[in-house]
């Protein structure tokens, strides 16, 4: 995941977007206080994505009665009550939003782009959480260094983001990057700060968007949620933090799955979600040349757990930005995955019978 980060070498600006002179410029470079003076009591993500954010936070903060900083906080810190935090502090720019945030014990108004030094003593926090806001930092590496200073050794810095933003306030390098490159950017901030152990990354993509969401007509998938996190160096319980479990759908017992796969020839239903498989014409392209069938059967249910969980599985193990659907080969009587880059991919090959 690491890449060349030295900006002193020849062609550095071409190889590393962080080295470009205007990397941290913004369309609206005016004082942030003016922009955030307006109250925004809105959800910055859809409800499915927000519950994923809570799931990530509750999975990773394992300290007993932790002291937590919500860095760049608004009216909701997404910190589940069952963490039983002894103190939650919010740092942000909008006084009204911070006052209405019921999870905070206290808050501080502080502009990180004016002064990236954090107004807190050394080693006072067990965890620092930054949600949907890293894209607005104009001096992220200094802020990450500061987070390292105020965390206890082994403390957690958890950066969570999606693909939504105030475009006039997000820095150029963020806007110029695709979603996978943004994960690399945040990883770079951690590495360049020198304060943290190796990062761990998590992505939740492709979950169905709630039907009553205001953007449901535009996109059937929920906002993606990415997390990049690391512990401050010097901790004693290195690597003991649990991994984030994929919280979508039930995992089926192997025996039951085998039974359902064996029945597909007769039922033509997906063994994972029971939806009817769709007949799909095998395209005439180099990737399919070795398949001697004219058609296959594919599960095109966008809410199928096999497909939805596939985004995370591919992200961690094989190919970021891809998932796979369940495909049944009628000649060989076999179920197999077929990779897809979007929920729309392959749908134009459906044969309506």
Ligand X SMILES: C[S@@+](CC[C@H](N)C(=O)[O-])C[C@H]1O[C@@H](n2cnc3c(N)ncnc32)[C@H](O)[C@@H]1O
Using CB under 6 A, list all residues that contact ligand X.
32, 36, 44, 72-74, 76, 92-94, 111-113, 131-133, 136
Nearest to ligand X of 53, 327 (CB atom): 53
Nearest to ligand X of 83, 327 (CB atom): 83
- What is the closest distance, in whole angstroms, from the C-beta atom of residue 60 to ligand X in the complex? 16
Residue whose C-beta lies closest to ligand X: 74
Nearest to ligand X of 36, 306 (CB atom): 36
- What is the closest distance, in whole angstroms, from the C-beta atom of residue 121 to ligand X in the complex? 19
Nearest to ligand X of 167, 283 (CB atom): 167
- What is the closest distance, in whole angstroms, from the C-beta atom of residue 22 to ligand X in the complex? 18
Nearest to ligand X of 63, 223 (CB atom): 223
- What is the closest distance, in whole angstroms, from the C-beta atom of residue 212 to ligand X in the complex? 20
Nearest to ligand X of 145, 302 (CB atom): 145
CA distance 79 to 156: 14
Nearest to ligand X of 94, 246 (CB atom): 94
Contacts of 219 (CB under 8 A, 6+ apart): 209
- What is the closest distance, in whole angstroms, from the C-beta atom of residue 114 to ligand X in the complex? 7
Question: CA-CA distances (angstroms) from residue 199 to 145, 192, 195, 231?
Answer: 15, 12, 11, 8
CA distance 321 to 316: 10
- What is the closest distance, in whole angstroms, from the C-beta atom of residue 188 to ligand X in the complex? 20
- What is the closest distance, in whole angstroms, from the C-beta atom of residue 97 to ligand X in the complex? 6
């Amino acid at each position: 995941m690491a890449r060349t980060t030295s900006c002193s070498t020849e062609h550095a600006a071409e190889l590393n977007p962080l080295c470009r002179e205007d990397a941290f410029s913004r369309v609206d470079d005016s004082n942030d206080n003016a922009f955030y003076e307006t109250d925004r009591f809105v959800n910055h993500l859809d409800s499915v994505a927000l519950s994923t954010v809570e799931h990530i936070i509750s999975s990773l903060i394992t300290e007993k009665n932790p002291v937590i900083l919500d860095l760049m906080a608004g009216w909701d810190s997404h910190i589940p009550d069952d963490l039983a935090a002894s103190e939650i502090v919010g740092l942000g720019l909008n006084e009204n939003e911070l006052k209405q945030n019921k999870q905070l014990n206290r808050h501080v108004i502080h502009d990180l782009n004016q002064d990236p030094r954090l107004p807190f003593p050394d080693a006072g926090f067990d965890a620092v959480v930054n949600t949907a806001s890293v894209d607005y930092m104009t001096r992220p590496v200094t802020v990450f260094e500061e987070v390292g200073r105020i965390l206890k050794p082994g403390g957690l810095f958890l950066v969570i983001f999606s693909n939504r933003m105030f475009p006039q306030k997000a820095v150029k390098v963020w806007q110029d990057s695709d979603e996978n490159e943004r994960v690399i950017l945040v990883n770079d901030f951690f590495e360049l700060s020198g304060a943290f152990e190796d990062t761990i990354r998590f992505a939740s993509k492709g979950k169905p968007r709630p039907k009553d969401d205001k953007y449901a007509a535009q996109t059937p998938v929920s906002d993606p949620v990415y997390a990049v996190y690391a512990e401050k160096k010097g901790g004693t319980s290195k690597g003991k933090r649990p991994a984030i479990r994929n919280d979508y759908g039930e995992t089926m017992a192997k025996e039951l799955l085998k039974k359902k796969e064996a029945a597909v020839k007769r039922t033509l239903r997906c063994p994972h979600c029971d939806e009817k498989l769709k007949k799909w014409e095998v395209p005439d392209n180099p990737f399919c040349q070795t398949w001697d069938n004219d058609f296959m059967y594919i599960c095109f249910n966008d809410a199928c757990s096999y497909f939805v969980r596939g985004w995370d599985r591919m992200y961690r193990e094989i190919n970021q930005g891809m998932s796979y659907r369940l495909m049944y080969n009628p000649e060989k009587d076999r179920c197999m995955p077929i990779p897809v880059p979007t929920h729309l991919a392959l749908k134009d090959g459906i044969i309506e019978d």
